[in-house]
Amino acid sequence: MLYECGKFSTSSGQSGTPSQATEALIMHPGASTLAVGMIVLGCSGSPKPPEAPVMDAKVATAQQVKNPTLPAARQGTKPNQQVSMTVSWMQMERNQAPVLVAALEPLPEWHIYWSHPGEAGLPTRFRLTRQSERLPHTTQMPLPKRMSSPGDIVSYGYEGKTHFFIDSDASRSGEDFTLRADWLACKEVCIKGQATINVSAPPAQGISFSRDASK
């Protein structure tokens, strides 16, 4: 069963073609692994992404990977306008604990990246917190589309609405918590973005919760 999610973006301030940009950047090792906006990576040919564990509906377990990214040119586009995000609780099977589903949807012709972006891009990541405390979780992602950029740069990501499944025992009980998503949205330029949504625990009976990041 595959689902998808979507909408928001970010910015960096360098111009140039994707191939020039990837040669010009290097990664800052002190950057937070979850704050995508603080990570800038250099582009070097990387091996094809490792095989990720596959679940029933071709859902791969997300992993944090360090990969190159393309900078944004002077495009006049504001961050967080290229991707929208909505969240909902979903029960996959009877008697199974509900999981949080984050739907990211890039604008037409824009795309975001898989957990293994390839030779360019940044992984899409999620963070759950409650009163400044991180909530342990796992994220499952659909298998991505293979994409090529000028300079024979190969990357892996998503176009259109994509659902990401976030499983966390701690999120299913107790007080409300916050879900944050970080991504890199690319078209002719690349813009880093993020969205934050306050989420309530799933209802005791019936799964009906849904919320838009813009609200």
Give pLDDT tens digits for 81-112.
Answer: 899 999 999 988 888 889 999 999 999 999 99
pLDDT of 206 above 70: no
Q: Which of 71-80, 128-137, 197-206 has the lowest mean pLDDT?
A: 71-80
Hey, what domains does the chain have and what are their CATH numbers? 18-46+53-212 (2.60.40.1250)
Least Cα distance to 141 among 112, 178, 172, 176 occurs for 112
Mean pLDDT (whole number) for 45-71? 35
Does the CA dihedral 163-112-123-133 come out positive or negative?
negative
pLDDT band of 18, cuts 50, 70, 90: very low
Comparing 29 with 105, which gets the higher pLDDT?
A: 105
Look at residue 80 and tell me whether its pLDDT is greater than 80.
no
Question: What region, left, alpha or beta, does residue 109 occupy, with left being phi > 0 and alpha being psi -120 to 50 degrees?
Answer: left
Question: Which residue type occupies 196?
Answer: T
pTM of the model: 0.61
Q: Report pLDDT for 188.
A: 87
**Between 30 and 40, the higher pLDDT residue:** 30
pLDDT computed for residue 5 by the predictor: 38
Answer whether residue 210 shows pLDDT above 90.
Answer: no
Q: Minimum mean pLDDT among 67-81, 140-154, 176-190: which range? A: 67-81
Per-residue model confidence (pLDDT) at position 78:
67
Q: How many CB atoms lie within 10 A of CB 132?
A: 6
Please give the pLDDT value at position 6.
Answer: 38
Q: Please, what is the end-to-end C-alpha distance for the chain in angstroms?
A: 27
Residues 69 and 83: their CA atoms lie apart, in Å, by 17
